[in-house]
Amino acid sequence: MKIEIENLKEFLDEKVILYNNPKFIESDPIQIPHQFKLKEDIEISAFLTATIAWGNRKMIFKNAKKIMTLMGDSPYDFVINHKEYHLEKFDGFVHRTFNEIDVKFFIQSLKHIYLKYSNLECLFSIKKDVPSIQHSIHDFKTKFFEIDHPSRTKKHISDPLKGSAAKRINMFLRWMVRKDNAGVDFGIWETLSPSLLSCPLDVHSGNVARKLGLLHRKQNDAKALLELDTNLRALDPMDPVKYDFALFGLGVFEKF
């Protein structure tokens, strides 16, 4: 099914309105950071939740909530003030291939980042003349693993410069950067422009995008993401990732 470009924008804009509203929160991992008010609590809970956001959605919610509970429902305070023995409460934690080793390191690295760089947002700053945030994701991964780390844990942050679509971290960035005025995305990172964001490309959004003629590449990789981003920016150069709501909603809720 391919829709002419002028009708496609109208069709997708209607779907954005349909799904980009508070009701969306109830069925999405973004519900976890919406429990918090402090900026640092929001971004830490969002980052950890996005990291495990693959597989069964109920298990994502359950395990993300478990991480928050183990952190005393005060993620920033726990990250900054924890001692090594506090991490023992994560013994036995597992979400698919993300286990206690990984979550313990993530907490240690976040502490290092806040103490050394003062905030998480600055690690995603855009370099001059770089038209995409994908290079910033690569740089972020480098800094995230600049302290001693288990080799197994590096796989849990994707690198767009190595061919990954980096779905989960692009989703996290959408949450942090895009201010939708509808109560879903937070928009608490004001140093980055929503125009630079990339669509969180997964099996659902990818399949719908192909049916609509927005994507032709068969693999959901970095090249496919570039193709999709280019076409979405043609529809709305200032807020291209708003169409993530349309593509995801069509795929998951409407079985498009």
* Mean predicted lDDT score pLDDT of the chain: 94
The overall longest dimension of the chain from CA atoms, in Å, is 59
Pairing of strands 94-95, 98-99: antiparallel
Q: pLDDT of 51-62, one tens digit each?
A: 999 989 999 999
How many C-beta atoms surround the C-beta of residue 56 within 10 A?
Answer: 11
Q: Where are the alpha helices (DSSP H) in 71-194?
A: 75-81, 100-117, 134-144, 167-177
Contact at 8 Å (CB) between 124 and 143? no
Q: How many domains does the chain have?
A: 1
Estimate the share of the chain in helix, then strand, then coil, as percent rounded to the nearest 5: 60, 0, 35
Residue 243: pLDDT over 60: yes
Rounded CA separation 68/74 (Å): 7
Q: pLDDT of 11-49, one tens digit each?
A: 999 999 999 999 999 999 999 999 999 999 999 999 999
What is the pLDDT confidence band of residue 5, given thresholds at 50, 70 and 90? Answer: low
How many C-beta atoms surround the C-beta of residue 239 within 10 A?
Answer: 18
Q: Which is more confident, 99 or 134?
A: 99
What is this structure's pTM? Answer: 0.95
Q: Domain of 80?
A: 5-252
pLDDT of 67 reads: 98
Rounded CA separation 53/10 (Å): 30
What is the pLDDT confidence band of residue 255, given thresholds at 50, 70 and 90? Answer: confident
